[in-house]
Structure 1
């Protein structure tokens, strides 16, 4: 079947050349999501949060030598989670993937992490009680699981994620531009703020929703002043929303950088607040290079707009799909509080 005729899943894997896999430590209430490229992809990054946790991201700047990456990881675990890239690299190296350095090959796997250490999961290694963090094994398992279909909500890097008032999660969405270029987003929503207006059920991302992909409820009749008052979850380092936007367009590394910057608008459309000093908000971008842009300037502008919209939708889908952790005092999920308002039970309002 031709790519243009393939049915859309409303996932980032609708972008040709992109695969996604997740792995979780359910006892520890944490996980890892790997975005694996069938062939090395041009990639970049934009960091607008004040407290990021990153690995091997300096090489993604346009002036750096390495142009392409083999995979990108999103992980829980705070700084402990940075071990996941090592496991992913080992799994990719076993497949012969990587940047050639003489006879050696080094898989290029940039990574971002979020803070999920205080969500009620059993993490003795984070309390200094011994044992090894699970992230190296989870990184390898996520790579091995990579495919076209993957779970949303309480899965992968979103397994232990939370927001101000509801369980966070893993979200994804996709779109096709008028010239046939595809774009998609995947995000682990662990925000310092809220994805819903005044405690729910309506999502800040409602204007960008397609169909009833996150409930179909639209906007509330009015937005109360209290919903605009500043409210923050947790404390310094206890947050971070991490994402990747991907396209099958042919992009330079500088254009990929512009795409990552513009995609941050999706955070601002779907979360209030975003990009706080307490956040590590990060967006990776990747281009698999299957289809040239119709116009290098206006085509890129259209792609940037679509990427931001996809990311906003993906954030709402991640929260909408989440289920509460099986822990005393766990944050409620959107479905727990508002599921009767959502299709198929209630139908779009």
Structure 2
């Protein structure tokens, strides 16, 4: 395996990602969309998720494809970002045809960033406009770190952020990950700057500190956030031709990457969730073994994306936590 040309989820051809942020609000929205509708699955392992339309993604449900996926700050208010994205997609003529009407399918998930120091005293919910702005800004060369839905993210110790990474398998299939890191747990070991994701680092993409540790198996972590204040939400994507059932399995396997990069993860205080999408551009070289390889690649890419998101976070006045890179 090797990183893709951009080391971003948009190394999967046909995908674009848009970010929008509000500096005063200290929050934002990230939108992933494709040149055509995308097959999609989802897996939720956290105890406090906030989602929209994820029930549609079950393998036995009617809708087989989505037009976009939304990751947003704002807790429950942030789910309204999907409305702005849906309006933008409808204006483009995108959506599920129902007679003369097209209905965009836009599942979404949110993180809690209401206590990060930003001004949340709005008179009208800002997230629909942020969602539409993020859709309009969609590009293959997205910025990571303190961008989009990662603008106001926090973790156990470091400022969080938006991360992405990719990998190309020997067979030519590409897998990418996009993540908002707002976790209860820590992305680094002990009091060090050493990322838990270090064993999967490619080159020096998040500092190149190697495997120095310390990794203490006796450590008992204590929560630094309350119920509902944390969550890591992610998307993994591939050009391999997978249906909803296979993508649900891919999302489940990708959760292992979250557990590798955040300690602890999947807690009762987090809403940890992974969407998985496919453009369907490449047939599986081996229907039995290729999904096995894809699951491993997705977990590795997500672990790397988590570390990259924290590594890329930038300091701003009023921050409640230090940046890893500062």
SS of the equivalent of 2:190 reads helix
Specify which of 14, 19, 23 is matched with residue 22 of structure 1: 19
CA distance 1:78–1:221, change in 2 (3 Å): closer
Q: How many residues align?
A: 324
- Look up the match of 2:203: 211
- TM-score normalised according to structure 2 size: 0.97
Which stretches in structure 2 are left out of the alignment for 5+ residues? none
- Look up the match of 1:237: 228
SS of the equivalent of 1:197 reads coil
Offset of residue 7 of structure 1: 6.7
| Mapping for residues 6-45 of structure 1, pairs under 5 Å | 8-45=5-42
- Look up the match of 1:134: 126
SS of the equivalent of 2:236 reads strand
Specify which of 275, 285, 299 is matched with residue 284 of structure 1: 275
Offset of residue 188 of structure 1: 0.3
Alpha carbons 1:324, 1:330 under 8 Å: kept = no
Offset of residue 199 of structure 1: 2.9
Offset of residue 295 of structure 1: 1.2
Offset of residue 28 of structure 1: 0.6
- Once residues 288 and 217 of structure 2 are traced to their aligned partners in structure 1, the CA distance between those partners, rounded to angstroms, is 39
- Once residues 233 and 308 of structure 1 are traced to their aligned partners in structure 2, the CA distance between those partners, rounded to angstroms, is 26
- Once residues 215 and 169 of structure 2 are traced to their aligned partners in structure 1, the CA distance between those partners, rounded to angstroms, is 32
Answer with 213-222 or 16-25: which moved more.
213-222
SS of the equivalent of 1:334 reads coil
Which stretches in structure 1 are left out of the alignment for 5+ residues? 1-5, 126-130, 337-349
Alpha carbons 1:29, 1:325 under 8 Å: kept = no
- The yes-or-no answer on 1:322 pairing with 2:313 is yes
Offset of residue 224 of structure 1: 3.8
- TM-score normalised according to structure 1 size: 0.91
- Once residues 269 and 322 of structure 1 are traced to their aligned partners in structure 2, the CA distance between those partners, rounded to angstroms, is 20
Bigger proportion of residues as helix? 1
Deviations 1:45-102 (A, max 9, x none): 0000000000011100100000000100000000000100000001111110000000
CA distance 1:7–1:285, change in 2 (3 Å): closer
- The yes-or-no answer on 1:270 pairing with 2:267 is no
- Once residues 297 and 283 of structure 2 are traced to their aligned partners in structure 1, the CA distance between those partners, rounded to angstroms, is 16
Offset of residue 233 of structure 1: 2.3
| Mapping for residues 1-349 of structure 1, pairs under 5 Å | 8-125=5-122, 131-220=123-212, 222-224=214-216, 228-327=219-318, 330-336=320-326
